Amino acid sequence: VQEAVARAARQAKSEDLPTVDLEHLEKVLPQL
Amino acid sequence: ERLKAAVHYTVGCLCQEVAEEKGIEFSKQTIAAVSEITFSQCEIFAKDLEMFARHAKRSTINTEDVKLLARRSRSLLNYITQKSEELAS
Amino acid sequence: EHWALTSEEFEVWDRLYRIQDSDGIKNVKLPQVRFESIRDMEEIKESCNENIHELSLTEWRIWQNRPFPTHMVDHSDRCNNFISIMEKIELMRHEEGACTYDSELMTYLHKDDII
């Protein structure tokens, strides 16, 4: 969980967005 | 459902921690998706652990089974090994 | 009768299937990703030679919310797991604000279940 949450948050940050959405999670999910 | 609810609640708390740490918010849907992944992945973990123990002709799952579970990533294996040594000591 | 290809079979393989340099096909590799939540000691080796194509794990994600047909070998548990979560994400994508998963599941929450 920690890894999923940390990666999704980083993805959102990299797109300068304030909220982590499903798109960010979707992008990191395959790595997980 | 109770177990799932407890997992979902805990995932929410972990998201809150990271949210505060990184100054970011998590949508409810994202938290729901993470807890759904967690729950279904835990089902796979449970099956694997049971298989590993049974393969060693044991009826009790032990830390060696968990290390085997983490074998595909050296970092994760190191982390799990360190944690199990801490627990053992 | 013998495990190796016969010279005829080798010739067919060499002509039809063997990848030649002229095919311009690069080596492929999966992206190496660091752990975010664990102090990651693993050094990620940056391979800088040109002829490696790094695969994208997200390129086809819009297709990955349903199982594609298989032949003789079914999808693995992990694969089915991934597909089902991508499907759930697809269903939730159109929810605004309130989350039905959350509201439904929280009715089962027992505070004393939480450590």
Residue B63 has pLDDT above 90, yes or no: yes
For C65-91, b where at least 16 C-beta lie within 10 A, e where not — what string? beeeeeeeeeeeeeeebbbbbbebbee
Q: Which residue of C has its CA nearest to A1?
A: C37
**pLDDT band at residue C33 using 50, 70 and 90 as cut-offs:** confident
Q: How close is the nearest chain A Cα to the Cα of B48, in Å?
A: 17
Question: Which of B35-44, C14-23, C51-60 shows the highest mean pLDDT?
Answer: B35-44
Please report the number of interchain residue pairs, chain A to chain C, with beta-carbon separation below 8 angstroms.
34
Asked if pLDDT for residue B89 goes beyond 80, the answer is yes
Count the Cβ atoms, other than its own, within 10 Å of residue B37: 23
Taking the C-alpha atoms of residue B63 and residue B60, their distance in angstroms, rounded to an integer, is 10
* Cα–Cα separations (whole angstroms), residue C49 to A5, C7, C25, C45, C56: 33, 35, 14, 12, 18
Instruction: Please name the helix (run of DSSP H) or strand (run of DSSP E) that holds residue B43, with its range, or none.
Output: helix B28-55
| Interface ipTM | 0.84
pLDDT exceeds cutoff 80 at C39 = no
Q: For position C42, what pLDDT does the model report? A: 64
Cβ-nearest to B27 among A4, A6, A20: A20
> Residue C29 pLDDT > 80, yes or no?
yes
pLDDT at C32: 76
Q: What is the pLDDT of residues B5-56, one digit of tens each?
A: 999 999 999 999 999 999 999 999 999 999 999 999 999 999 999 999 999 9
CA separation for the pair B73, A3 (Å, rounded): 13
pLDDT of residue C37: 82
Point out which residues pair with B36 in neighbouring strands. Answer: none
Tell me the pLDDT band of C49, cut-offs 50, 70 and 90. low
Q: Give the gap in angstroms from C-alpha A27 to the nearest C-alpha of chain C.
A: 6
Identity of the residue in A7, A26, A29 whose CB atom sits nearest the CB atom of C36: A7
Out of A4, A13, A19, name the one closest to residue B27 (CB).
A19
pTM tops 0.90: no
